[in-house]
Amino acid sequence: MSDAPRDTPPRQDEGAARRFIIAGQSIQASRLAPGLYVAATPIGNLGDITLRALQALAGADVIACEDTRVTRKLLDRYGIATPLAPYHEHNAEKARPVLLRRLADGAAIALVSDAGTPLISDPGFKLVRAAREAGHAVTALPGASAVLTALTVAGLPTDQFFFAGFLPPKAAARQARIAELARLPGTLVLFETGPRVAAALADLAAGLGANREAALCRELTKLHEEVKRGGLAKLAEAYAGEEPRGEIVLVIAPRQQEAQTSLAETESMLREALARHSLKDAVGEVVQATGRSRREVYQRALALSKDEKDGAPR
């Protein structure tokens, strides 16, 4: 049986009570004006939801969600009876036109993810884009975000950061992606899974620098919340052979935060490394030792190699 929304999914009865419950008190919610409402939900602790989000979830005609079982737990906690329609990466192509038709018919649809703010590592942006292109109102209901929560507790610079989602699961693709991220100047934020985090940390240490400061944030806002700080190599060692449970966010300090050797020292190290290794291996060794960007070291290595060929003095 397909889990795409039916062409005419159940709509809240206009006469039915649109309510939510807080601390035993039942609160009436008005029906929302037609449009798409992008609502943030808790990333762990079900208490981390806004009053505005509760009013929208209770006042919508239907809630589009990744996993109806996950969202149902949240609705049950607050006594909300709004119908649910699955919308996730596996059914989005079929589900999206159905939701757009409902919007065209004047429905109020709330869009949520399993946890946190929709559109972050989920297919919601395509629905938002299609809704806007069709002329429907799109309203954001901000709230919890795993990215911002991790940045808050990691104790690393937050003035400039880049969210890179999940790294590729296969080693070669993961290492190539890390090489791209090494060029970025700000704090890096990544999502990772327990079974892959040890390998990811080892590759991050090799690609970004063993001593580059980082924080592994696990089970944020939940009972067993954990934040471990240290250099990437030490974190990789700490989690080697382990599969930590729960949701994981990695926060990695900017490369500027590392003490860098001078250009003269870097060139000296490059000459020694080039005498022992291939250009690629020499660059990798010096990047890890100095904290300088791979691109900068590689360009300098090319220049030194050219000087050697042209007979330039050392």
pLDDT at site 256: 54
pLDDT at residue 309 tops 70: no
Handedness of CA 62, 68, 71, 74 (dihedral sign): positive
* CB of 22 closer than 8 Å to CB of 126: no
Question: Which of the pair, 24 or 290, is modelled with greater confidence?
Answer: 24
| 280, two tokens | 């690629």
Look at strands 161-166 and 62-65 and give their pairing.
unpaired
CA-closest candidate to residue 140, choices 124, 151, 156, 153: 124
Task: Summarize pLDDT for 152-182 with one digit per residue, the tens.
Answer: 999 999 999 999 999 999 999 999 999 999 9
Task: Summarize pLDDT for 270-292 with one digit per residue, the tens.
Answer: 888 888 889 888 888 888 777 67
Half-sphere exposure of residue 55: CA atoms within 13 angstroms, side-chain side: 10
Q: In what helix (H) or strand (E) does residue 238 lie, and over which residues does it extend?
A: helix 232-239
The CATH superfamily holding the domain 19-144 is: Tetrapyrrole methylase, N-terminal domain (3.40.1010.10)
- In words, the CATH class of domain 147-257 is alpha beta
**Is-above-0.85 flag for pTM?**
no
pLDDT at site 104: 98
- The amino acid occupying position 306 is K
Mean pLDDT of 291-301: 83
Task: Summarize pLDDT for 76-109 with one digit per residue, the tens.
Answer: 999 999 999 999 999 999 999 999 999 999 999 9
| 241, two tokens | 């052979």
* CB of 293 closer than 8 Å to CB of 261: no
CA distances from 192 to 78, 146, 163, 243, 246 (A): 30, 12, 12, 11, 10
Task: Summarize pLDDT for 104-154 with one digit per residue, the tens.
Answer: 999 999 999 999 999 887 778 999 999 999 999 999 999 999 999 999 999
Measured at the CA of 258, the angle between CA 169 and CA 156, to 5 degrees, comes to 70
Question: How do the residues of the chain divide into helix, strand and coil, expressed in percent and rounded to 5?
Answer: 40, 20, 40
How far apart are the C-alpha atoms of 3 and 86, rounded to whole Å? 7
pLDDT at site 290: 76
How far apart are the C-alpha atoms of 304 and 314, rounded to whole Å? 9
